Structures are given as C-alpha cells and as structure tokens.
Structure 1
Amino acid sequence: MAEALFRDSVKKENLPNKIAVDSAATSSWQIGFPPHEGTLDILKKYNISSDRLVGRKLKKEDFWKFDYIIGMDESNIKNIYRITGKPNHPKIIRILDLTKYKKDVPDPFFTGDFDETYRLISVGCRALLKKIRSEQNL
C-alpha cells in the first residue's frame, strides 16, 4: 500500500524522473504475490494504481541502492537493521516518525482496518515527500 501511495504522490508532484519508488518485504511469506485483496480494494477506492505491485524481499544491497529505507513498524525496522547490517542508521526510518503520530502503522492483515492504514500511510507519505523535497532540493 505504501509503495502505491508514495508512487502516486510522486507522480502528482511531477517528480517520477527524480524519485525512484520501490518496496520490499522483511519477511518471506509475501514474496511473488500481489497485495492483499483489502489493499487492492482501498487503492481502487482512491483511484491509485496497483500496477507492478508484487512482493519481493529486502536485500542487503538495497541499503546502498536507496537514499531512504522506510519501515511501517518497529518490527520492520528491526528486520531492516538485521538485513542491511546497519542498525540505527539515519536513512532507515519508521514512516510515522516523520509525523506527529510517532507510532507504528498497524498491519491491516491483522486489524482488518484498511481505511486506518491508508489514512496513516497517506500522512506518512506526505511527510516523507516533504523531507525528500527539502533534503534533495526538489
């Protein structure tokens, strides 16, 4: 969901040639599969493309490929630290730490609340885009 929302934001800001967007799982069970049906439904509801969304696993070399590595919750962050071998690195960010919320994005697979997850990720994506625009002079 976060990749689709952020990609949509980047497109609306006319920045797709300046900001690359990708996502990866920190566990193996989503690999090779499209997003959950609930995610696809919420993206469709808000007319956000889900094209090319297929699960892949985060790789150590992703740390060097990307300027920012974003996690949705503390579990993601710990897994990102472990996979990249870069604990507490400033480019690894829990998305809502960029907002006033400073909390985990709940996984709608477990909560069933895709609307809440969409709302929180939307807020986080706006904050992330603002950070990138500022830091990268875009």
Structure 2
Amino acid sequence: MKTYRILFVCLGNICRSPMAEYVFRSQAAEAGVAHRIETASSGTSGWHNGENMHNGTLKKLKQQGIDPSGFASSQVRQSDGSRYDFLIAMDDNNLAELERLFGRRPEQIFKLTDLIPESGYNHVPDPWYTGDFDETFRLVSDGSRALLRKLGLTP
C-alpha cells in the first residue's frame, strides 16, 4: 500500500498551512488511513521559523477537537521537491514560489482550492489579514476531504 507524503504550504507557516496539516491528518485518522499518509507544512518565507501556530489557528483546531501539539514553523527546503509526493499551496503567490523552486509540476504542485472548485474560491484567504479563522477552517476541511478522495483513501 502506498504511503503519501504531503506538504502544505503558505507564506509564514503559522496560520493556513499548519491548519491544513492538522485537519488533513485528523480526517485521515477518522477515515482509518492515517498509516498511509505523512503530512507536514512549511512557509515560503522564514519569518516565523521555530514559532508555534498563530493563536487563532490553535484556538480553531482545539474547538474542533484537533490536538495542535508538536508544531514548529519552518521554511520550504530545496529537498522538499523530491521528498513529498504533493506540495499543496494556499494561494497563487505560494504556488508561484513553489514553481520557481521546483518547476511547474501541476500533478504534484497545486493549490488546495483547485480540489474544491465548487467553493467559489481560487485561494485560501489568509486569516492573518482577514481575521476569519472559521472561513479558513471551512475551506481547509473541504479541501482535505477532496484530497483524501483524490488519493483514493476515501470514497
């Protein structure tokens, strides 16, 4: 059985990408397929390296019964392009930076919202600016469910 290695990527790796990492991991556990995934998250900037998640992300994950422990922010590394099966960006700027680093590989590198076109969003808005962690959680949850389906891990 294939194990999928997935890296979620945003700008600072304290709001959107850690939320996606932990939500996806939680959904995989609920579906009984946690043993088939390896998840992580990173930022395209190193602004918050070593820091914990934003308090808004921590609070939202806890509200949803998701344990947010064990996190430390990090920056995308050159080795990530070959280490992960999928590098999933939160917005166009993150996608452009990943493509600059690793080349255009639409089967491997894409935006989370590409998986949920019915959402009406072309990116996951950054709650650092919007303050809307509920909106981020909703999109990340929908995108995570779609990713599980894409990988054939849920019906």
Q: Report the residue type matching 2:39 in the other structure.
A: V
Runs of at least 5 residues in structure 1 that lack an aligned partner in the other structure: none
The structure where strand makes up a greater share of residues is: 2
Q: Name the counterpart of 2:13.
A: none
Q: Name the counterpart of 2:113.
A: 96
Structure 1 CA distance, aligned partners of 2:111 and 2:74? 19
Superposition TM-score, scaled by structure 2 size: 0.81
Structure 1 CA distance, aligned partners of 2:51 and 2:80? 20
Q: Name the counterpart of 2:48.
A: 30
RMSD of equivalent CA atoms:
1.7
Q: Report the residue type matching 2:127 in the other structure.
A: P
Q: Deviations over 1:63-119 (max 9, x none)?
A: 1111111011111101111222x1244200100111123511000000000000100
Aligned pair partner of 1:17 in 31, 35, 40? 35
Runs of at least 5 residues in structure 2 that lack an aligned partner in the other structure: 1-18
Structure 2 CA distance, aligned partners of 1:122 and 1:45? 14
**% of aligned pairs identical?**
36
Q: Report the residue type matching 2:59 in the other structure.
A: D
Q: Name the counterpart of 1:2.
A: 20
Superposition TM-score, scaled by structure 1 size: 0.91
Aligned pair partner of 2:88 in 70, 91, 94? 70
Structure 2 CA distance, aligned partners of 1:31 and 1:78? 21
